[in-house]
Amino acid sequence: MHPIITAFESSPDRGQGLARDMRVRWALEEVEQPYDVRLVSFRAMKEPAHRALHPFGQIPTYEEDGLVLFESGAIVLHVAQRHAGLLPEEPDARARAIAWMFAALNTVEQPILELQVAKFQEGDKPWSAERLPLIKDRIRARLGELSVRLGDADWLDGTFSAGDLMMVHTLQRLKPSGMLDDYPDLAAYVARGEARPAYQRAFAAQLAVFTGQRPS
Amino acid sequence: MHPIITAFESSPDRGQGLARDMRVRWALEEVEQPYDVRLVSFRAMKEPAHRALHPFGQIPTYEEDGLVLFESGAIVLHVAQRHAGLLPEEPDARARAIAWMFAALNTVEQPILELQVAKFQEGDKPWSAERLPLIKDRIRARLGELSVRLGDADWLDGTFSAGDLMMVHTLQRLKPSGMLDDYPDLAAYVARGEARPAYQRAFAAQLAVFTGQRPS
């Protein structure tokens, strides 16, 4: 039995890889763990059967031998802890890589999600245009700090880790805004992540949900 | 040598326990690990010496035998993995407890931080009053879902865990808004967390920074 994850039956991004199942797919591809996918509709996500797996009615979820997990960060960490390839073996380096996962989700993603909320949930409000620069300033503050820390390195702390996986995917959510263009080093960092064969396989698999064509 | 954490020299909440060092103090108290505290000013937080520890110029940080960590979630998880008392031993239960840590930080805290940003960074904007109900609706959606999942249980998944620690502290940030009053079960959940002796010790220690009196 392979682990089963859930993903949008009809993702808002139409397979651009911005939905959070992408993080889990990518992690599973990095450790070469085959998996199955169950697609859920927006309506089904809010019904009791799915909420039994995910109390907040979202995707992705993860089921494996009776274990049920939700939250992309928790699932990626679980995969990374059970398989080699996404976290350093050395305990201190391992703890630092996990810290970058939390930094991606709780510090860098926070203002990026604010931008998405402003666009999709408050885009029609009278304050929308005037408020946007404030949010973008908060995002730029984080991007500047991240850029300084990354410096000339390929990855945030030594070799590629689950911390980079989460950070790259978090930054990808800025692509529609064009904001990454002002940070060529971060854009190159994201591109390095996207160039990984495991990323490519995961991207093809989630895109195939929309094209109806199985990835080659 | 005890681990050293950093905390605000002058916390915006004046010792009400809402700053993020409280999470780390509480975790260390739960596992009975003594620790030292280095206070940092707002100015020092943004200088290179502190940014070497925390790339985003925030508190808390954690230093122990050459290991440097940032992000309260990562530090609490590190403490919980190195000591007994904050995570179940059984692997599946352990993964689920960690999932609740991520849920607290990435799903429940997201709209709560939006409320704080709206209050402290956009409180003087013309849209402030009209926008507040939208944010509160998003928070209520999360609180309602959390309340359903908690049900009649004392804690989110079996015995008290690092997941509850993070969730209780995340919910505490709503106290100034009074929003928890509409969810008596969640208010009782927070109160259970606050009643723990380890919480009490951590609270007294962070309050002592402001009163200048050592906790008894």
Query: Is the Cβ pair B56, A145 closer than 8 Å?
Result: yes
Going by C-beta distance under 8 Å and a sequence separation of 6 or more, which residues neighbour residue B59?
A: B6, B7, B8, B19, B20, B21, B40, B45
> DSSP character for A215?
P
**What is the rounded average pLDDT for all residues in chain B?**
95
Q: Is the pLDDT of residue B216 over 70?
A: no
Which amino acid, one-letter code, is at B57? G
Q: Which string of DSSP letters, residue by residue, matches chain B? A: ---EEEEESS-TTSSSS-STHHHHHHHHHHTT---EEEEE-HHHHTSHHHHTT-TT--S-EEEETTEEEESHHHHHHHHHHHSTTSS-SSHHHHHHHHHHHHIIIIIIHHHHHHHHHHHHTSTTSTTHHHHHHHHHHHHHHHHHHHHHHHTT-SSSSSS--HHHHHHHHHHHTTGGGTGGGG-HHHHHHHHHHHTSHHHHHHHHHHHHHHH-PPP-
Q: Is the pLDDT of residue B2 over 70?
A: yes
Q: How many CB pairs under 8 A join A and B?
A: 122
Query: Is the Cβ pair B126, A131 closer than 8 Å?
Result: no
Q: What is the pLDDT of residue B111?
A: 95
Residues of B in contact with A130 (CB under 8 A): 125, 127
Query: Is the Cβ pair B78, A66 closer than 8 Å?
Result: no
Q: Is the pLDDT of residue B189 over 60?
A: yes
Residues of A in contact with B70 (CB under 8 A): 99, 103
Q: Walk along chain A (216 residues) in steps of 10 and give the mean pLDDT of each run.
A: 95 90 98 98 96 98 97 98 97 98 97 93 92 96 98 97 98 94 97 98 95 72
Q: What is the pLDDT of residue A14?
A: 85
**Candidates A71, A117, A122; nearest CB to B102:** A71
Which domains can be identified in chain B, with CATH numbers?
4-85+198-211 (3.40.30.10), 91-196 (1.20.1050.10)
Query: Is the Cβ pair A114, B114 closer than 8 Å?
Result: yes
B20, B50, B56, B166, best to mutate vs chain A, most A CBs in 10 Å: B56
Q: If pLDDT is split at 50, 70 and 90, which confidence band does B13 have?
A: confident
Q: What is the pLDDT of residue B125?
A: 93
Q: Is the pLDDT of residue B215 over 70?
A: no
Alpha carbons B109 and A56: distance in angstroms, whole number: 13
Average pLDDT estimate for B108-126: 93
Q: Is the pLDDT of residue B132 over 80?
A: yes
B81, B107, B112, best to mutate vs chain A, most A CBs in 10 Å: B107
Residues of A in contact with B148 (CB under 8 A): 51, 55
Q: Distance (Å) from the C-alpha of residue A116 to the closest C-alpha of chain B?
A: 12
Average pLDDT estimate for B127-132: 93
Query: Is the Cβ pair B148, A55 closer than 8 Å?
Result: yes
Backbone angles phi, psi at B158, to 5 degrees: 80, -130
Record the tokens describing residue B99, joined without a space.
């999932």
Of the two residues B210 and B204, the one the predictor is more confident about is B204
Burial of B12 (0-12, 13-18, 19+ CB in 10 A): exposed
Which amino acid, one-letter code, is at B201? R
Residues of A in contact with B130 (CB under 8 A): 125, 127
**Candidates A55, A67, A92; nearest CB to B67:** A92
Residues of A in contact with B75 (CB under 8 A): 99
Q: Give the chain A residue whose CA is nearest to the CA of B114.
A: A114
Q: Distance (Å) from the C-alpha of residue A6 to the closest C-alpha of chain B?
A: 16
> pLDDT tens for residues B34-78?
999 999 999 999 999 999 999 999 999 999 999 999 999 999 999
**Candidates B77, B103, B121; nearest CB to A71:** B103
- A104-133 in b/e form (b: 16+ CB < 10 A) is bbbbbbbbbbbbbbbeeebeeeebeeebbe
Alpha carbons A125 and B94: distance in angstroms, whole number: 43
Largest interatomic CA distance in chain B:
52
